[in-house]
Chain A
Amino acid sequence: MKFLVSKSRLSHYLQYILQVVPAKTTLPVLSNILIEALDNKLKISATDLDISMTVSLECKVTKKGGICIPAKILFDIFKELPESEISFESNNSRLEIKFPNGSYKIATVPADDFPQLPTVNTKKEIRISGSELVEMIKKTTFACSDDDTRPALNGVLWQTKGERMQMVATDGHRLAKTSVVNTKLKGMYDDVIIPPKVLNLIPKFTGENEDEIGIIFGDNSIIFSLENMVLTSRLIEGPYPNFEQVIPVENDKKLIISREELSGAVRRVSILSNALTHQVKFSIKDNTLTLTTANADVGGEGKETLSCDFKGDSIEMGYNAAYVSDILQKIDASEVAVELSSTVSAGVVYPADKSKEDFLCLIMPLRLAE
């Protein structure tokens, strides 16, 4: 294998790829990256077995081939090299990196030893709007569980069968569901459960651009094809619990309030909430919402009153302030609507100016002390 590439160009991609290389692992080969020199193209791959990332860049290849090299060592050397064209040549289990003022040699591992990466069959690729996908990801991944007793809840359910494609995440205390009109994936694939780790990488690499993202659904993995980059993730074994049955449909009380005012008040009041439960009491009467909290450990109490638009009988609820804050952060609207029923049933929160179908969150109340 022999190729020539500029330092800045390769460094840029190495920074991406290092995000997938595990800092420590019991499988030595995972601390390596796979470098493949193809026809005037270089492919660099890394995996932690859950996620794989492959970046491609054009470069001058004089001899094709592939090897694995320790990612961190290569990155550390590259970081310190002056800007120049750098030549890579592998020979007898060693890689020689040459630049105008010198050279470095690193021991390599055969390319065969690298874990098998899913094959990207571009014929099966479907391109969907990048901004829509990123928006859906941002609105759901925060609600994923990390409880190992129910692994399916540790991922985001992505449903693509119906008229609308939707993503759902829940940890049993809260739920987030968002959907958009399904133009491309309708009825083509079964539901999949995707680990949030890969989904959280996508916004980092797409930024705010509107480009389309290619999606390939595999039997055991999902592939996201971005510009010059392919991200792959193993899927979580289902089934996902029937979440529809926990979304209340007949909550008879409705509160509409400024998102910013509520968010600020919750943050402030929660400072004095119990460190374990973060419980804040929401008392709603007429058109007034009162947030109160008390913390015996620090001998503190907090209270704020906000005006709101409320329809229904007065009610008192307890909520985990951290969960409320998380949800309010994800709502992109000046006002939020909260539908309630009783002190023990779930509240439904959504942007007041949009349909619940687009985005809704569910939050379970905490039992208030007598």
Chain B
Amino acid sequence: MTHFDISEFQPQAWKIISQSFKSDKLAGTYLLLGKEGYGQFYFAVSMTALFNCHSPQETDSTGILLPCRECSNCRKIFSLNFEGLSFALALPPHKNENEAMDFTNKYLQEKREEPFRILKASSSRNIPMAVSRDIKNRMSRIALSGMKRVVVFYQMELMKKSSADSLLKLIEEPPKETIIILTAEKAEYLLPTIQSRAQRIKLKRSEPDLIGKYLKNNYDISDKKSNLAAHISDGSPGEAIDIILDDAEDNDSLRAVSFLLFRTLIDDASYETVSHINEMLTLNNRGKIESMLQFWQSLIRDSSNYAVNKSEDDIVNIDFLNEIKRLSQNFNSPELGLSMADNIKITLADMRRNVHIQGALTAMVIRIKSGLKAAS
């Protein structure tokens, strides 16, 4: 795998960490904000590597520090095999500690293989109380000299309030030589008492060209596919990886990719997206395209309903709740939702009549785009 330093994806955020480390002014607790696919995990691991690297490297132009990736600590940290790095991950429901550890190991293995990969589960996940308890227990041990321990509470918004409450003391005053890293999509998803105890670092969207380069270097895919994935990923390397790895073997991946295409369709005003979306759609087979369009219909229904009723109760695709709320701003006219749904219905019918699929899809995307433009 070709390594890309985190500073390439998150230059501003990394600069803050590098400068704090250089001036020995590290905070006790950091809160990494942004979408999971922006690279929160990779950022946290890179922080751990910088703090424990035997010979951090200074980049020529900016003086930014980076972990060397070659010393024994860097090797262990980037392979997630470092004794000073602990993770509290959100897990699906499990029967016992053994099963919880299996889930954790499965997720860590996914992250080992691809640090930007978005973690998924077929059911809702949360950071179990037992995991927090275990971390607290480990943190009660005196840290080994010369080592900066790092504990990452990943996707903190998926922790129950009671568990989060029990961590306040640890977060407010981490033990000696220990840094706590919390990650969340948005600060307001966390308890105010937690927000106020951490230094916020905002992770941002990455440039599509950089994402495309990363994909081309690390995956055996065509330039066309990597460019398309990079452009519709909304600056999220994790989502771009989801797109290219999606063979739609599992339903969750298909939903995720379908949602990204739908979001691009609504958000991106340019007609260039028409070809991007169309090409992405046609990279899949007929069955998958039908499933994706049916999912779009349910998203249109959710967004229109929320625009009218402002009620979460009517939303079917609850896993995309926040995004649906945002997209619903485009559905203030009930007619728009109806016409979009009709367009998809017609396209689905056309596909079943064996018409030229690419042509039918292009026509559908153009019609939807025109409708959106007219409504705005």
Contact = CB atoms under 8 A, between A and B. Distances in A.
Contacts of B102: 24
Interface stretch (A8-16, A33-41, A110-118, A176-184): A110-118
Interface residues of A, number: 26
Interface stretch (B60-68, B137-145, B336-344): B137-145
Given A26-B108, A148-B136, A113 B141 contact: no
B133 A148 contact: yes
Contact of A26 (B101, B140, B175): B101
A220 B141 CA distance: 8
B113 interface: no
B94 to A, nearest CB: 13
Contact of A220 (B104, B133, B142): B142
Interface stretch (A79-87, A164-172, A233-241): A233-241
B110 interface: no
Interface of A: 24-29, 49-50, 112-113, 115-116, 118, 148-149, 151-152, 154, 195, 219-221, 234-237
Nearest to B166: A149
Given A27-B81, A49-B83, A234 B141 contact: yes
Nearest to A234: B141
B290 to A, nearest CB: 40
A152 B175 CA distance: 13
A148 B145 contact: no
A151 B75 CA distance: 32
Contact of B81 (A28, A154, A220, A221): A28
18 contacts: A26-B105, A27-B81, A27-B83, A28-B81, A50-B138, A112-B72, A113-B75, A148-B137, A151-B136, A195-B141, A219-B145, A220-B142, A220-B145, A221-B142, A221-B144, A235-B141, A236-B140, A237-B175
Interface string B63-82: 00000000010011000111
Contacts of A50: 138, 141
B59 interface: no
Given A25-B101, A112-B72, A148-B136, 7 more contacts: A50-B138, A112-B75, A113-B75, A148-B140, A154-B140, A220-B144, A237-B140
B21 interface: no
* Residue among A26, A29, A118, A148 with the highest chain B CB neighbour number at 10 A: A26
Interface of B: 72, 75-76, 80-83, 87, 98, 101-102, 104-105, 108, 133, 136-138, 140-145, 147, 166, 175-176
A60 to B, nearest CB: 30
B141 A29 contact: no
A361 to B, nearest CB: 25
A220 B143 contact: yes
Contacts of B72: 112-113
A115 to B, nearest CB: 4
B141 A237 contact: yes
Contacts of B175: 237
* Residue among B81, B105, B133, B176 with the highest chain A CB neighbour number at 10 A: B81
A195 B142 CA distance: 11
A26 B100 CA distance: 10
Contact of B140 (A25, A151, A219, A220): A151
A142 to B, nearest CB: 19
A350 B76 CA distance: 51
A29 B81 contact: yes
Contacts of A49: 83, 138
Contacts of A149: 166
Contacts of A116: 83, 144, 147
A223 B83 CA distance: 19
Nearest to A235: B142
A29 B79 CA distance: 10
B291 to A, nearest CB: 35
Contacts of B83: 27, 49, 115-116
Contacts of A154: 137, 140
Contacts of B82: 27
A204 to B, nearest CB: 22
* Residue among B75, B76, B80 with the highest chain A CB neighbour number at 10 A: B76
Contacts of A113: 72, 75-76, 81
A237 B175 CA distance: 9
A219 B72 CA distance: 23
